[in-house]
Chain A
Amino acid sequence: DTIVKAEETNEVVDIDNNIKDPQFCASIAHEIYEHLRACEEIRRPSMDFMDKTQKDIDASMRAVLIDWLVEVSEEYRLVPETLFLTVNYVDRYLSSHSINRKQLQLLGVACMRIAAKYEEICAPEVQEFCDITDNTYSKEQVLQMEFAVLNSLKFEMTAPTVNCFLRRFVIVAQRTCEVPSLHLEYL
């Protein structure tokens, strides 16, 4: 509640006062987050795709995939945002396409490649993504899946993730505390 108040009224604490660093976009930060909130509603995967859309996979398989993707992102030192976006793309694709369990990992790497291309300065090569699946899938398969995902999501790859909001919440939390917490910084 404090956070909401702080953001909406800017009375409690003004966290948008860093005008020196353009990366903070102080003068438009408010609009950006309003836009992200509105976007969140549209770019959200459906809540019940496991029951309604999927026939061959279940929640535990998805969990295994996500755990593995976390490891991949660490292996290739991808930024956290890439990982969060990957999960968003995977879930959005699964919301509308039934997929068999053999292809689930393929979907995972394809989504991660798209997210990396969107977010990273230097995205890993296709071959690297094939290697990490122990060459379970060919380069062509990865590229095809990548294209299928882009088409299915209509190239709408800008999606607000938990990570986007977390950054801001942490700033608010630190400013509203008298003693800034280092724990939050490394969350």
Chain B
Amino acid sequence: MTEENADAQSSLNLFTQLVQCKNLFGHAHATLPSNRPDNIEGIYEVMGILGEGSFGRVYRCKHIRTGEIVAIKQIDFRYDQNAVPSSLIREVSLLRELNHDNIVRLLNVLSTETYVSLVFELLDQDLGRYISRNNGVRDPWIRKPATRYYRAPEILLDSSQYSTGVDLWSVGCIFGEMVTGEPIFGTKNSFDELDAIFSPTDLSYIFADLEPQGLHLLKMLLCLDPKRRVSVEGALKHAYFNDLPDHPRSRRYRLILLLKSLPVHNHLRTKGFILKANFQDHNDPATSSNGRVPADSLENVISCTPNSLPVLYLACSK
């Protein structure tokens, strides 16, 4: 089969799946209890809601005794026949393994018979202000969990076979966002998301600011066919990264950090992924000399595929 034929075949398959899953997305998610608690297990005082999804909620909390500010993700499994769902067991076990500057730290797990509270470090945010100052896009405080923006087409199409390529797609989306300052596939639901992904677009027009090498890499990352999408190894070797060291806060540098922070754990590769992304523009005056992404300007993308709904939330403090 020629490459062209293979492409046509794969597009046809994608289209068939697209039609099939139209019904799938029609179902509404279970509603969440509307009230928020005053405290969590009597240990943390709840100060606000950071995000929400079908899994439950993310709260901004203060440790009553120490005053430490944290983010608490509550996962409700009251209606789950299997009690503690496998997605939760995997997410927590894997987070427990991870200790990396670019991955948000899981500090504690509090559990009751019906829900589990995951206590995460809460990162300072200047980013929300930064985005609105530059683009006036949205208010970070009301931003909803939205890792959907970064979901690869094969996941959106409910493919049962997907691999490490889904992470590379996400990196491509985040890379694009670094350039334009807003999510490149920022849509309201999964169906619109697919629509956006499959509408014919000229990337070189949208990313006119991007260097040709960067555009080339972006296209390799956003390749629809996961089999032909670039690998982490391939991406790191791309000509776009020639002649480093660059400015530590530059787009190139941050992209490398992102690629390198793709999970180093075997299980993560097959069972889920966790990323932490930095969206700051390299013109930002607050520069860092050591080349590490400073913790006070990070946006978290906490995500597990495919069973638990991925979550994106802004880490907020103050």
Residues of A participating in the B interface, judged by any CB pair closer than 8 Å: 19, 22-23, 25, 27-28, 31-32, 35, 39, 114, 117-118, 123, 125-126, 143, 146-147, 150-151, 154-158
Contacts and interface: CB of A to CB of B under 8 A. Distances in A.
Nearest to A22: B164
Nearest to B97: A158
A118 B89 contact: yes
16 contacts: A22-B163, A22-B164, A28-B264, A117-B85, A117-B86, A118-B90, A125-B82, A147-B83, A154-B96, A154-B109, A155-B96, A155-B109, A155-B116, A157-B93, A158-B94, A158-B97
Given A123-B86, A155-B96, A157-B90, 14 more contacts: A19-B233, A23-B163, A25-B269, A31-B264, A32-B264, A114-B89, A117-B86, A125-B82, A126-B82, A126-B83, A147-B113, A155-B93, A158-B93, A158-B96
A19 B233 CA distance: 9
A123 B83 CA distance: 13
Nearest to A122: B86
A76 to B, nearest CB: 15
B86 A150 contact: no
B84 interface: yes
B40 interface: no
B36 interface: no
Given A155-B89, A157-B89, A22 B269 contact: yes
A147 B82 CA distance: 11
Contact of A39 (B97, B116, B269): B97
A28 B163 CA distance: 16
B163 A158 contact: no
A135 B23 CA distance: 39
A31 B99 CA distance: 13
Contacts of A25: 266, 269
Interface of B: 81-86, 89-90, 92-94, 96-97, 109, 111, 113, 116, 163-164, 231-233, 264-267, 269-270
A24 B233 CA distance: 13
Nearest to B84: A150
Contacts of B232: 27
A35 B265 contact: yes
B260 to A, nearest CB: 10
B265 A143 contact: no
Contacts of B265: 32, 35
Contacts of A22: 163-164, 231, 269
A28 B236 CA distance: 14
A23 B111 contact: no
Contacts of A157: 89-90, 92-93
